[in-house]
Structure 1
Amino acid sequence: MKNSRVKINTVKNLANDYYKLDKVNFDYKTKDGIWQNQSRECYDRGDGACILLYNPLKKTVILTKQFRMPSYLNENEDGMMLEVCAGLLDKDDPFTCIKKEAEEETGYKINNPTKVFELYSTPGAVTEKIHYFIAEYNDAMKISEGGGLEEETEEIEVIEFNFEETLNLIKTGEICDAKTVILLQYAKINNLV
Protein backbone atom coordinates (compact mmCIF):
# COMPACT_ATOMS: atom_id res chain seq x y z
CA MET A 1 0.00 0.00 0.00
CA LYS A 2 1.32 3.44 -0.93
CA ASN A 3 -0.68 5.95 1.12
CA SER A 4 1.39 7.07 4.14
CA ARG A 5 -1.80 8.43 5.75
CA VAL A 6 -3.27 4.92 6.07
CA LYS A 7 -2.16 2.20 8.51
CA ILE A 8 -4.15 -1.03 8.31
CA ASN A 9 -4.42 -2.58 11.78
CA THR A 10 -6.54 -5.70 11.21
CA VAL A 11 -8.50 -7.43 8.49
CA LYS A 12 -11.21 -9.75 9.78
CA ASN A 13 -12.97 -12.02 7.30
CA LEU A 14 -16.75 -11.89 7.86
CA ALA A 15 -17.86 -14.09 4.96
CA ASN A 16 -16.20 -16.05 2.19
CA ASP A 17 -19.06 -17.86 0.54
CA TYR A 18 -19.72 -16.69 -3.01
CA TYR A 19 -17.47 -13.64 -2.62
CA LYS A 20 -15.32 -12.26 0.20
CA LEU A 21 -16.47 -9.77 2.85
CA ASP A 22 -13.83 -8.32 5.20
CA LYS A 23 -13.98 -5.83 8.05
CA VAL A 24 -10.89 -3.61 7.90
CA ASN A 25 -9.79 -1.64 10.96
CA PHE A 26 -7.33 1.12 10.11
CA ASP A 27 -5.88 4.42 11.24
CA TYR A 28 -6.28 7.39 8.90
CA LYS A 29 -4.25 10.60 9.24
CA THR A 30 -6.45 13.65 8.56
CA LYS A 31 -5.15 16.73 6.77
CA ASP A 32 -4.86 18.30 10.26
CA GLY A 33 -2.32 15.60 11.18
CA ILE A 34 -4.65 13.78 13.58
CA TRP A 35 -4.83 10.00 13.41
CA GLN A 36 -8.39 8.64 13.45
CA ASN A 37 -9.31 5.00 13.97
CA GLN A 38 -11.91 3.77 11.48
CA SER A 39 -13.52 0.48 10.43
CA ARG A 40 -15.06 -0.36 7.06
CA GLU A 41 -16.59 -3.46 5.54
CA CYS A 42 -15.14 -4.19 2.11
CA TYR A 43 -16.83 -6.58 -0.32
CA ASP A 44 -14.42 -8.24 -2.78
CA ARG A 45 -16.05 -9.95 -5.72
CA GLY A 46 -13.14 -9.50 -8.11
CA ASP A 47 -12.95 -7.16 -11.08
CA GLY A 48 -15.31 -7.26 -14.03
CA ALA A 49 -15.82 -6.19 -17.62
CA CYS A 50 -18.84 -4.96 -19.58
CA ILE A 51 -19.52 -4.20 -23.22
CA LEU A 52 -21.98 -2.28 -25.35
CA LEU A 53 -22.60 -4.05 -28.65
CA TYR A 54 -23.85 -1.53 -31.21
CA ASN A 55 -24.78 -1.56 -34.87
CA PRO A 56 -24.35 1.86 -36.52
CA LEU A 57 -26.15 0.79 -39.71
CA LYS A 58 -29.29 -0.55 -38.04
CA LYS A 59 -29.04 2.03 -35.20
CA THR A 60 -29.43 -0.75 -32.62
CA VAL A 61 -27.75 -2.08 -29.48
CA ILE A 62 -27.81 -5.46 -27.74
CA LEU A 63 -28.89 -5.59 -24.10
CA THR A 64 -29.56 -8.47 -21.75
CA LYS A 65 -32.36 -8.97 -19.28
CA GLN A 66 -31.99 -11.08 -16.16
CA PHE A 67 -33.05 -11.42 -12.54
CA ARG A 68 -30.86 -9.60 -9.97
CA MET A 69 -31.61 -10.47 -6.34
CA PRO A 70 -29.99 -7.37 -4.75
CA SER A 71 -32.15 -5.08 -6.92
CA TYR A 72 -35.22 -7.14 -6.01
CA LEU A 73 -34.46 -6.61 -2.31
CA ASN A 74 -34.20 -2.85 -2.93
CA GLU A 75 -37.55 -1.93 -4.51
CA ASN A 76 -37.10 -3.44 -8.00
CA GLU A 77 -40.58 -4.97 -8.18
CA ASP A 78 -39.74 -8.04 -10.30
CA GLY A 79 -35.94 -8.03 -9.90
CA MET A 80 -35.39 -7.98 -13.66
CA MET A 81 -32.67 -5.68 -15.01
CA LEU A 82 -31.88 -4.48 -18.54
CA GLU A 83 -28.10 -4.40 -18.84
CA VAL A 84 -25.16 -4.44 -21.18
CA CYS A 85 -23.35 -7.77 -21.32
CA ALA A 86 -20.99 -8.12 -18.34
CA GLY A 87 -19.08 -10.62 -16.25
CA LEU A 88 -16.33 -11.14 -13.73
CA LEU A 89 -12.76 -11.45 -14.98
CA ASP A 90 -12.12 -14.54 -12.86
CA LYS A 91 -8.60 -15.47 -14.05
CA ASP A 92 -8.91 -13.86 -17.51
CA ASP A 93 -7.56 -10.52 -18.69
CA PRO A 94 -10.31 -7.98 -19.49
CA PHE A 95 -10.17 -8.50 -23.30
CA THR A 96 -10.41 -12.30 -23.06
CA CYS A 97 -13.17 -12.03 -20.47
CA ILE A 98 -15.39 -9.67 -22.43
CA LYS A 99 -15.06 -11.61 -25.69
CA LYS A 100 -16.04 -14.80 -23.84
CA GLU A 101 -18.91 -13.11 -21.97
CA ALA A 102 -20.30 -11.55 -25.15
CA GLU A 103 -20.43 -14.95 -26.83
CA GLU A 104 -21.89 -16.78 -23.79
CA GLU A 105 -24.49 -14.15 -22.91
CA THR A 106 -25.50 -12.64 -26.26
CA GLY A 107 -24.45 -15.26 -28.82
CA TYR A 108 -22.35 -12.73 -30.77
CA LYS A 109 -18.71 -13.57 -31.52
CA ILE A 110 -16.74 -10.33 -31.36
CA ASN A 111 -13.09 -10.02 -32.27
CA ASN A 112 -11.91 -6.50 -31.57
CA PRO A 113 -13.54 -4.88 -28.56
CA THR A 114 -12.36 -1.35 -27.79
CA LYS A 115 -11.67 -0.52 -24.16
CA VAL A 116 -12.98 2.96 -23.33
CA PHE A 117 -12.20 3.23 -19.60
CA GLU A 118 -12.25 1.47 -16.24
CA LEU A 119 -14.30 2.63 -13.26
CA TYR A 120 -15.02 1.80 -9.63
CA SER A 121 -18.81 1.67 -9.31
CA THR A 122 -19.15 1.65 -5.51
CA PRO A 123 -15.71 2.52 -4.06
CA GLY A 124 -17.10 3.08 -0.56
CA ALA A 125 -17.97 -0.59 -0.09
CA VAL A 126 -16.92 -2.76 -3.06
CA THR A 127 -13.38 -3.34 -4.35
CA GLU A 128 -14.56 -4.16 -7.90
CA LYS A 129 -13.16 -2.21 -10.84
CA ILE A 130 -15.09 -2.61 -14.11
CA HIS A 131 -13.40 -2.47 -17.52
CA TYR A 132 -15.76 -0.84 -20.05
CA PHE A 133 -15.74 -1.89 -23.71
CA ILE A 134 -17.62 -1.16 -26.92
CA ALA A 135 -17.78 -3.21 -30.13
CA GLU A 136 -19.70 -3.09 -33.36
CA TYR A 137 -21.82 -6.10 -34.19
CA ASN A 138 -23.75 -7.32 -37.21
CA ASP A 139 -26.12 -10.21 -37.88
CA ALA A 140 -23.34 -12.37 -39.38
CA MET A 141 -21.57 -12.39 -35.99
CA LYS A 142 -24.50 -14.18 -34.29
CA ILE A 143 -23.30 -17.76 -33.74
CA SER A 144 -25.70 -18.93 -31.00
CA GLU A 145 -28.78 -17.89 -29.03
CA GLY A 146 -26.65 -16.81 -26.06
CA GLY A 147 -28.47 -16.74 -22.74
CA GLY A 148 -25.55 -17.50 -20.44
CA LEU A 149 -24.20 -20.68 -18.94
CA GLU A 150 -26.49 -23.19 -17.26
CA GLU A 151 -23.78 -24.16 -14.75
CA GLU A 152 -23.65 -20.52 -13.63
CA THR A 153 -27.46 -20.58 -13.19
CA GLU A 154 -27.76 -17.83 -15.79
CA GLU A 155 -31.07 -17.32 -17.55
CA ILE A 156 -30.45 -14.33 -19.77
CA GLU A 157 -32.78 -12.88 -22.38
CA VAL A 158 -31.00 -11.18 -25.29
CA ILE A 159 -32.81 -8.14 -26.71
CA GLU A 160 -31.95 -5.96 -29.70
CA PHE A 161 -33.14 -2.40 -29.07
CA ASN A 162 -33.36 0.65 -31.25
CA PHE A 163 -30.70 2.93 -29.76
CA GLU A 164 -33.02 5.93 -29.30
CA GLU A 165 -35.48 3.68 -27.48
CA THR A 166 -32.81 2.83 -24.88
CA LEU A 167 -32.31 6.51 -24.14
CA ASN A 168 -36.04 6.80 -23.43
CA LEU A 169 -35.87 3.71 -21.21
CA ILE A 170 -33.25 5.51 -19.11
CA LYS A 171 -35.66 8.46 -18.70
CA THR A 172 -38.51 6.18 -17.65
CA GLY A 173 -36.33 4.24 -15.22
CA GLU A 174 -36.66 0.94 -17.07
CA ILE A 175 -32.89 1.00 -17.58
CA CYS A 176 -31.40 1.76 -14.17
CA ASP A 177 -28.12 -0.17 -14.23
CA ALA A 178 -25.12 2.19 -13.89
CA LYS A 179 -22.76 0.45 -16.33
CA THR A 180 -25.52 0.34 -18.96
CA VAL A 181 -26.43 4.00 -18.56
CA ILE A 182 -22.74 4.95 -18.71
CA LEU A 183 -22.11 3.04 -21.94
CA LEU A 184 -25.32 4.23 -23.61
CA GLN A 185 -24.42 7.83 -22.75
CA TYR A 186 -20.87 7.20 -24.04
CA ALA A 187 -22.39 5.98 -27.33
CA LYS A 188 -24.61 9.07 -27.56
CA ILE A 189 -21.81 11.53 -26.75
CA ASN A 190 -19.49 9.89 -29.29
CA ASN A 191 -22.15 9.45 -32.02
CA LEU A 192 -21.53 5.71 -32.29
CA VAL A 193 -25.09 4.80 -33.24
Structure 2
Amino acid sequence: MTEQAHPYTPRYAHESVEERFDETLQSGFFSLERRHYRHRRFDGQWSERVLREVHVRHDAVGVLLYDPQRDCVVHVEQIRAGALDDPLSPWKLEPVAGLVDAGETSAEVARRESMEEAGCTIDELIELYTYYPSPGACTERVTLFCGLVDSHGVGGVHGLESENEDIQVHVLSFAQTWALLEQGVIDNAMSLIALNWLVRERASLRARR
Protein backbone atom coordinates (compact mmCIF):
# COMPACT_ATOMS: atom_id res chain seq x y z
CA MET A 1 0.00 0.00 0.00
CA THR A 2 1.33 3.44 -0.96
CA GLU A 3 1.62 5.79 1.97
CA GLN A 4 -0.33 9.00 1.43
CA ALA A 5 1.49 12.33 1.55
CA HIS A 6 1.21 14.18 4.83
CA PRO A 7 -1.37 17.02 4.44
CA TYR A 8 1.11 19.70 5.55
CA THR A 9 0.52 23.42 5.13
CA PRO A 10 2.49 26.12 6.97
CA ARG A 11 0.70 27.40 10.04
CA TYR A 12 1.73 30.98 9.36
CA ALA A 13 2.32 33.12 6.26
CA HIS A 14 3.71 36.56 5.49
CA GLU A 15 1.13 38.41 7.59
CA SER A 16 2.65 36.76 10.66
CA VAL A 17 5.86 38.73 10.22
CA GLU A 18 5.85 42.40 11.24
CA GLU A 19 8.11 45.39 11.88
CA ARG A 20 10.44 44.19 9.14
CA PHE A 21 13.37 46.40 8.19
CA ASP A 22 16.24 45.36 5.90
CA GLU A 23 19.58 47.07 6.47
CA THR A 24 22.22 46.77 3.72
CA LEU A 25 25.62 45.98 5.21
CA GLN A 26 27.49 45.33 1.98
CA SER A 27 26.59 45.52 -1.68
CA GLY A 28 28.69 43.83 -4.38
CA PHE A 29 28.43 40.76 -6.60
CA PHE A 30 26.23 39.51 -3.77
CA SER A 31 24.79 41.58 -0.93
CA LEU A 32 24.71 41.19 2.82
CA GLU A 33 21.69 42.46 4.76
CA ARG A 34 20.78 42.61 8.42
CA ARG A 35 17.08 41.86 8.73
CA HIS A 36 15.01 43.14 11.66
CA TYR A 37 11.60 41.57 12.29
CA ARG A 38 9.15 40.02 14.75
CA HIS A 39 7.14 36.89 14.06
CA ARG A 40 4.30 34.88 15.52
CA ARG A 41 5.45 32.07 17.78
CA PHE A 42 3.80 28.66 17.79
CA ASP A 43 2.15 29.54 21.10
CA GLY A 44 0.37 32.43 19.33
CA GLN A 45 2.41 35.19 20.97
CA TRP A 46 4.74 37.63 19.19
CA SER A 47 8.49 37.02 19.38
CA GLU A 48 11.01 39.58 20.55
CA ARG A 49 12.75 41.55 17.80
CA VAL A 50 14.98 39.23 15.78
CA LEU A 51 18.21 40.34 14.05
CA ARG A 52 19.69 38.08 11.36
CA GLU A 53 22.37 38.61 8.72
CA VAL A 54 21.30 37.26 5.34
CA HIS A 55 23.30 36.65 2.18
CA VAL A 56 21.19 38.12 -0.67
CA ARG A 57 21.75 36.31 -3.96
CA HIS A 58 20.10 36.00 -7.35
CA ASP A 59 18.14 32.82 -7.93
CA ALA A 60 20.16 30.10 -9.65
CA VAL A 61 19.82 27.13 -11.98
CA GLY A 62 21.69 23.82 -11.90
CA VAL A 63 21.76 21.25 -14.72
CA LEU A 64 22.90 17.65 -14.40
CA LEU A 65 23.94 16.73 -17.95
CA TYR A 66 23.31 13.04 -18.61
CA ASP A 67 23.86 10.97 -21.74
CA PRO A 68 21.45 8.00 -21.42
CA GLN A 69 22.81 6.21 -24.47
CA ARG A 70 26.39 6.12 -23.15
CA ASP A 71 25.34 6.16 -19.47
CA CYS A 72 27.67 9.09 -18.83
CA VAL A 73 27.48 12.25 -16.75
CA VAL A 74 29.03 15.52 -17.91
CA HIS A 75 30.66 17.41 -15.03
CA VAL A 76 32.31 20.83 -14.90
CA GLU A 77 35.36 21.54 -12.75
CA GLN A 78 36.37 25.02 -11.59
CA ILE A 79 37.88 26.79 -8.60
CA ARG A 80 35.30 27.88 -6.01
CA ALA A 81 35.87 30.85 -3.71
CA GLY A 82 33.78 29.31 -0.94
CA ALA A 83 35.98 26.20 -0.96
CA LEU A 84 39.42 27.86 -0.80
CA ASP A 85 40.00 26.25 2.61
CA ASP A 86 38.71 22.81 1.56
CA PRO A 87 40.97 20.05 2.92
CA LEU A 88 41.17 18.34 -0.49
CA SER A 89 41.04 21.08 -3.13
CA PRO A 90 39.16 24.31 -3.96
CA TRP A 91 38.50 22.89 -7.46
CA LYS A 92 35.11 21.15 -7.47
CA LEU A 93 33.23 18.77 -9.79
CA GLU A 94 29.71 20.12 -10.19
CA PRO A 95 26.75 20.28 -12.54
CA VAL A 96 26.51 23.19 -14.94
CA ALA A 97 25.06 26.18 -13.06
CA GLY A 98 24.32 29.87 -13.45
CA LEU A 99 22.37 32.82 -12.11
CA VAL A 100 19.00 33.90 -13.46
CA ASP A 101 19.16 37.34 -15.07
CA ALA A 102 16.16 39.65 -15.29
CA GLY A 103 13.75 38.54 -18.01
CA GLU A 104 15.14 34.99 -18.27
CA THR A 105 13.31 31.80 -17.46
CA SER A 106 15.04 29.02 -15.56
CA ALA A 107 14.87 26.79 -18.65
CA GLU A 108 16.55 29.46 -20.78
CA VAL A 109 19.35 29.76 -18.23
CA ALA A 110 19.77 25.98 -18.18
CA ARG A 111 20.26 25.80 -21.96
CA ARG A 112 22.49 28.89 -22.09
CA GLU A 113 24.78 27.78 -19.29
CA SER A 114 25.05 24.24 -20.66
CA MET A 115 26.47 25.65 -23.88
CA GLU A 116 28.70 28.27 -22.21
CA GLU A 117 30.16 26.00 -19.54
CA ALA A 118 30.20 22.58 -21.20
CA GLY A 119 29.63 23.05 -24.92
CA CYS A 120 26.50 20.87 -24.68
CA THR A 121 23.22 21.24 -26.52
CA ILE A 122 20.36 19.84 -24.46
CA ASP A 123 18.04 17.46 -26.30
CA GLU A 124 15.48 17.24 -23.48
CA LEU A 125 15.25 19.29 -20.31
CA ILE A 126 13.58 17.75 -17.25
CA GLU A 127 12.79 19.97 -14.27
CA LEU A 128 13.52 18.22 -10.97
CA TYR A 129 13.17 20.47 -7.90
CA THR A 130 13.25 24.05 -6.69
CA TYR A 131 14.85 24.44 -3.27
CA TYR A 132 16.61 26.78 -0.85
CA PRO A 133 20.23 25.61 -0.27
CA SER A 134 20.43 27.39 3.10
CA PRO A 135 17.21 29.26 4.02
CA GLY A 136 18.53 30.25 7.43
CA ALA A 137 21.24 32.41 5.91
CA CYS A 138 20.64 32.93 2.17
CA THR A 139 17.80 34.14 -0.08
CA GLU A 140 18.86 32.05 -3.09
CA ARG A 141 16.42 29.55 -4.61
CA VAL A 142 17.83 26.95 -6.99
CA THR A 143 15.89 25.30 -9.80
CA LEU A 144 17.50 21.99 -10.65
CA PHE A 145 17.21 20.23 -14.01
CA CYS A 146 18.45 17.12 -15.73
CA GLY A 147 19.49 17.80 -19.30
CA LEU A 148 19.68 14.81 -21.67
CA VAL A 149 22.60 15.23 -24.07
CA ASP A 150 24.84 13.45 -26.56
CA SER A 151 28.25 13.48 -24.84
CA HIS A 152 30.22 12.32 -27.91
CA GLY A 153 33.12 14.74 -28.45
CA VAL A 154 32.32 16.77 -25.33
CA GLY A 155 35.29 18.03 -23.32
CA GLY A 156 37.90 20.75 -23.17
CA VAL A 157 38.01 24.07 -21.33
CA HIS A 158 35.03 26.41 -21.49
CA GLY A 159 33.60 29.51 -19.82
CA LEU A 160 33.36 33.23 -20.46
CA GLU A 161 36.60 35.21 -20.23
CA SER A 162 34.54 38.29 -19.35
CA GLU A 163 33.45 36.50 -16.15
CA ASN A 164 36.91 35.05 -15.40
CA GLU A 165 35.58 31.54 -15.95
CA ASP A 166 38.07 28.71 -16.45
CA ILE A 167 36.02 25.51 -16.62
CA GLN A 168 37.30 22.02 -17.40
CA VAL A 169 34.69 19.57 -18.68
CA HIS A 170 34.81 15.90 -17.65
CA VAL A 171 32.69 13.08 -19.09
CA LEU A 172 32.54 10.19 -16.61
CA SER A 173 30.54 7.00 -16.61
CA PHE A 174 27.69 6.83 -14.14
CA ALA A 175 29.63 4.18 -12.19
CA GLN A 176 32.70 6.46 -11.95
CA THR A 177 30.49 9.36 -10.93
CA TRP A 178 28.72 7.41 -8.19
CA ALA A 179 32.07 6.15 -6.85
CA LEU A 180 33.31 9.74 -6.55
CA LEU A 181 30.12 10.68 -4.70
CA GLU A 182 30.54 7.79 -2.26
CA GLN A 183 34.20 8.73 -1.72
CA GLY A 184 33.18 12.30 -0.83
CA VAL A 185 34.97 13.84 -3.81
CA ILE A 186 31.65 15.04 -5.25
CA ASP A 187 30.41 17.01 -2.26
CA ASN A 188 28.12 19.81 -3.46
CA ALA A 189 24.37 19.95 -2.89
CA MET A 190 23.36 20.20 -6.55
CA SER A 191 25.22 17.01 -7.44
CA LEU A 192 24.01 15.09 -4.41
CA ILE A 193 20.37 15.97 -5.05
CA ALA A 194 20.49 15.45 -8.82
CA LEU A 195 22.47 12.20 -8.73
CA ASN A 196 20.15 10.66 -6.16
CA TRP A 197 17.28 11.55 -8.51
CA LEU A 198 19.21 9.96 -11.37
CA VAL A 199 19.69 6.72 -9.42
CA ARG A 200 15.92 6.39 -9.24
CA GLU A 201 15.18 7.41 -12.85
CA ARG A 202 18.24 6.16 -14.72
CA ALA A 203 16.74 2.89 -15.99
CA SER A 204 13.65 4.60 -17.38
CA LEU A 205 15.74 7.32 -19.04
CA ARG A 206 17.96 4.72 -20.71
CA ALA A 207 14.93 2.71 -21.87
CA ARG A 208 13.56 5.75 -23.73
CA ARG A 209 16.61 6.22 -25.94
The two structures have a TM-score, normalised by structure 2, of 0.85
Letter aligned with residue 19 of structure 1: F
Q: Secondary structure at the match of 2:15?
A: coil
Q: Secondary structure at the match of 1:109?
A: coil
Kindly name which structure, 1 or 2, has the bigger radius of gyration based on alpha carbons. 2
1:49 aligns with 2:69: no
1:118-165 CA-to-partner distances (Å, cap 9, x unmatched) read: 1111111111111111121114685x8551111111111000011011
Q: Secondary structure at the match of 1:115?
A: strand
Letter aligned with residue 159 of structure 1: H
Native 8 Å contact 1:99 1:111 kept in 2: no
Higher RCO, Cα 8 Å, sep 6+? 1
Q: Secondary structure at the match of 1:113?
A: strand
Structure 1 position 14, deviation (Å): 0.5
1:174 aligns with 2:185: yes
1:96 aligns with 2:108: yes
1:11 aligns with 2:22: yes
Q: Secondary structure at the match of 1:35?
A: coil
Aligned partner of 1:117 in structure 2 is 129
**Partner Cα separation in structure 2 for residue 146 and residue 70 of structure 1:** 21
**Partner Cα separation in structure 2 for residue 107 and residue 115 of structure 1:** 20
Aligned partner of 1:29 in structure 2 is 40
After TM superposition, the structure 1 stretch with the greater mean CA deviation from structure 2, 53-62 or 33-42, is 33-42
Cα 1:140–1:159 shift into 2, 3 Å: closer
Aligned partner of 1:152 in structure 2 is 163
Aligned partner of 2:4 in structure 1 is none
Native 8 Å contact 2:73 2:171 kept in 1: yes
The two structures have a TM-score, normalised by structure 1, of 0.91
Structure 1 unaligned regions, length at least 5: none
Native 8 Å contact 2:156 2:168 kept in 1: no
**Partner Cα separation in structure 2 for residue 5 and residue 139 of structure 1:** 50
Q: Among 137, 152, 165, which residue is 2:176 paired with?
A: 165
Identity percentage of aligned residues: 27
Letter aligned with residue 39 of structure 2: Y
Q: Among 62, 67, 71, which residue is 2:79 paired with?
A: 67
Give the superposed CA RMSD.
Answer: 1.8
1:106 aligns with 2:118: yes
Native 8 Å contact 1:49 1:89 kept in 2: yes
Q: Tell me the number of residue pairs that the alignment of Structure 1 and Structure 2 aligns.
A: 190
Q: Among 96, 99, 113, which residue is 1:85 paired with?
A: 96
Q: Among 153, 178, 188, which residue is 2:199 paired with?
A: 188
Structure 2 unaligned regions, length at least 5: 1-12
Structure 1 position 190, deviation (Å): 1.2
Native 8 Å contact 2:24 2:32 kept in 1: yes
Letter aligned with residue 118 of structure 2: T
**Partner Cα separation in structure 2 for residue 176 and residue 8 of structure 1:** 39
Structure 1 position 101, deviation (Å): 0.1
Letter aligned with residue 21 of structure 1: L
**Partner Cα separation in structure 1 for residue 51 and residue 121 of structure 2:** 45
**Partner Cα separation in structure 2 for residue 35 and residue 54 of structure 1:** 49
**Partner Cα separation in structure 1 for residue 200 and residue 123 of structure 2:** 24
**Partner Cα separation in structure 2 for residue 109 and residue 176 of structure 1:** 26
